[in-house]
A and B are shown apart, each in its own frame.
Chain A
Amino acid sequence: MLNLAVALALTLTGMALLLTGERLLYGPTLPDRIMALDTLYLNAVALLVLLGIHFDSALYFEAALFIALLGFISTVALCRFVSRGRLFE
């Protein structure tokens, strides 16, 4: 039963990734694309957590932690770059 639930959850998360990718491709403005990237890394964290349960391995958790850290930093960097024009004063 757990296998079925993991398969279903993986399918739903994969569909979410595709929809977010559509916003990333066709987002009318630059902030839309940055927001889509922000959502994309959150979905990647969700996918990695699900894969960790699917393969019964705790290794995926560390990858999820790294993606969460780097995703946040990249969102902050992109927002600052767009709003200020440069990253460092």
Chain B
Amino acid sequence: MLREILVALLLIAGAALVLISAIGLVRLPDYLSRLHAPTKTSTLGLGCLLLASALYFGTLHELLVLVFLFLTAPISAQLLGGLEVKDGIKPTEPDEA
């Protein structure tokens, strides 16, 4: 019973974080600030969901996905940040945001 409650809480927290990061992706004003929104999905959001799954099935397989995502998220963020320099996208000034 306790395990079920914990799984439910982790699921809702993870899904809420995924939704929040998607809202950030739509609402934030410029490319570089939008770049930080999806990192919530890849770390805390999927972390909660995969922990819930690991707890539900009682296995450690899910941690494989988690470790892989934690290793690859900085690499893809670095590459995506590098595209900004190439395309000449300027960060928004605080007063025009």
Q: Which residues of A contact B (CB under 8 A)?
A: 1-2, 4-6, 8-13, 15-17, 19-20, 22-23, 29-32, 34-36, 38-39, 42-43, 45-46, 49-50, 52-53, 58, 61, 64-65, 68-69, 72, 75-76, 79-80, 82-83
Contact = CB atoms under 8 A, between A and B. Distances in A.
Interface of B: 4-5, 7-9, 11-12, 14-16, 18-19, 21-23, 25-26, 31, 34-35, 37-38, 41-42, 45-46, 49-50, 52-53, 56-57, 59, 61-62, 64-65, 68-69, 72, 75-76, 79-80, 82-84, 86-87, 89
B50 to A, nearest CB: 6
15 contacts: A11-B15, A16-B18, A31-B84, A31-B87, A35-B35, A38-B38, A39-B22, A39-B37, A45-B46, A45-B69, A53-B56, A72-B68, A76-B75, A79-B76, A83-B79
Contacts of B57: 52, 58, 61
B38 A35 contact: yes
Given A30-B87, A42-B38, A2 B15 contact: no
Residue of B4, B14, B38, B84 ringed by the most chain A CB atoms within 10 A: B38
Contacts, number: 159
B18 A43 contact: yes
A58 B72 CA distance: 24
